[in-house]
Amino acid sequence: MVIFVYFLVFGAAIGTGMVKPLLPLYLRGLGASAFEVGLLVSGFMLARSISSLLIGALSDRIGRTPFIVMGLLGLSLSTFALVFISNPHLVVLVRTLQGFFAGAVWPQLQILVGEASKRSFRSRAIGIYFIIGSLGMGIGSGLASLVLSLVTRYRSIPEQDAVKWVFVIAAFVVLLSMAFIREGKGERVKEKSTEGTFRLGAWIYVFGFFMGFILGLYNSIFLLHLKEFFGFNMRGVALLMFLFGLGGITFTYLISHMADKLDGMWVLRGIVAVAAFSSLFLPLTRSLTVSLILAFFILCAMRGFLPVSRSIVISSGGKKGTKVGALNSVSNLGSVVSPLIGGYAYDRLRIFGSRISIFLLLGVLILVILTVEVVGSLSRR
């Protein structure tokens, strides 16, 4: 069962990875403001947050497969619909619908992998899931860059129009991934939950929100920063996401292995600290090299947080669909709020002359919250 989930994730991630890095720049090319670009990501994540929570609870009763089928079909059709839409508001609406469909797919697949894995290997099993997804997303970004290069070169059309070819291919790839859907919930490993893991749940949700906040800024405002400060075009952004995706694979498995062998919550705290410090220093540099290194650290922290946090929640027992859905929901809520705040701050806020000062403020806030959590944890011992 798990191997089919991995193949499904790989195919669907390629399709979604072709579209994800291009949509903010495509929307900007349609005349949208930075705030509207932020709304593109926020609408997607809000819908994903709602569907993750609701469908997660329903899947505990009905099963995972019906929602996976619905979500993949919806993602494919909505991606194809983008070919015929040039109104920026309608693009935002379609992307919001894609968020609802995404929330029906990814949390359910995470649960299927977690349920079929022993606790001693669970973080790595879920880590492999995210590695495959990251690899697919990276390949998708690279494929998008290749398609744009070929279409603009041989058909002599602007990049803004060539991106529609990417939408068509991406929709077809997502549709093909449905061939790996299998009926049933798969083999489940029976085990008792631990009281300690359960008590840590509240802080995991807090960290999940702020990690989602950083991710929302990364996927919207940072991409604008690359284009408008460093001069990246859509092909350059897509290629960069491809390289980052490949580079993050080793880190994801390494941190998952550490979480299986060590105290998972302390590993999680380390991940959050890396994200916070990288976010804090990102607006303070004008160097492209340093900016890319810090952005890569943020991406790796996010890639490590995903499997470790899901493993901890699944290991706590109970209604896994509800719990994983809630964790995805709060992370998505963070990604809803951040592009809106980030888009507003990008146009109006300057600290040390940087248009991405929101990253600095966020890094400081996360470090304060992390310190409070660690001090509280140590005082209870």
Summarize pLDDT for 295-323 with one digit per residue, the tens: 999 988 988 898 888 888 877 766 777 77
Domain contains 258? yes
| DSSP 8-state code for residue 355 | T
Q: What's the pLDDT score for residue 196?
A: 43
In angstroms, rounded to a whole number, what is the distance separating the alpha carbons of residues 165 and 162?
6
Q: What's the pLDDT score for residue 231?
A: 83
In angstroms, rounded to a whole number, what is the distance separating the alpha carbons of residues 307 and 271?
12
Per-residue confidence band for 10, with pLDDT thresholds at 50, 70 and 90: very high
Q: What's the pLDDT score for residue 194?
A: 47
Domain contains 233? yes
Q: What's the pLDDT score for residue 62?
A: 83
Number of structural domains in the chain: 1
Which of 144, 142, 140, 138 minimizes the C-alpha distance to 248?
138
Domain residue limits at 152: 2-184+194-379
Per-residue confidence band for 188, with pLDDT thresholds at 50, 70 and 90: low
Q: pLDDT at residue 137 above 70?
A: yes
Give exposure, 200-211, as e/b (b: 16+ Cβ within 10 Å).
Answer: bbebbbbbbbbb
| DSSP 8-state code for residue 356 | T
CB contact at 8 A, 49 and 333: yes
In angstroms, rounded to a whole number, what is the distance separating the alpha carbons of residues 8 and 133?
9
Summarize pLDDT for 229-253 with one digit per residue, the tens: 888 887 787 778 778 877 777 788 8
**Token pair belonging to 365:** 């806030």
Most confident stretch, 42-56, 62-76, 212-226, 300-314: 62-76
Domain contains 310? yes
What are phi and psi for residue 143, nearest 5 degrees? -65, -40
CATH of the domain at 77: 1.20.1250.20
Name the burial class of residue 83, with classes exposed (0-12), middle (13-18) and buried (19+) by CB atoms within 10 angstroms of its CB: middle
Q: pLDDT at residue 198 above 50?
A: no
Range of lowest pLDDT (154-158, 180-184, 242-246, 281-285): 180-184
What three-state secondary structure class fits 351? strand
Domain contains 39? yes
Domain contains 74? yes
Q: pLDDT at residue 46 above 90?
A: no
Q: Which residue has the higher pLDDT, 320 or 101?
A: 101
Q: What is the mean pLDDT of residues 279-292?
A: 91
Q: What is the residue-wise DSSP string for 157-198?
A: --HHHHHHHHHHHHHHHHHHHGGG--SS----------HHHH
Per-residue confidence band for 200, with pLDDT thresholds at 50, 70 and 90: low
Q: pLDDT at residue 166 above 80?
A: yes
Domain contains 189? no
In angstroms, rounded to a whole number, what is the distance separating the alpha carbons of residues 87 and 89?
6
Summarize pLDDT for 320-339 with one digit per residue, the tens: 777 788 888 888 888 778 87
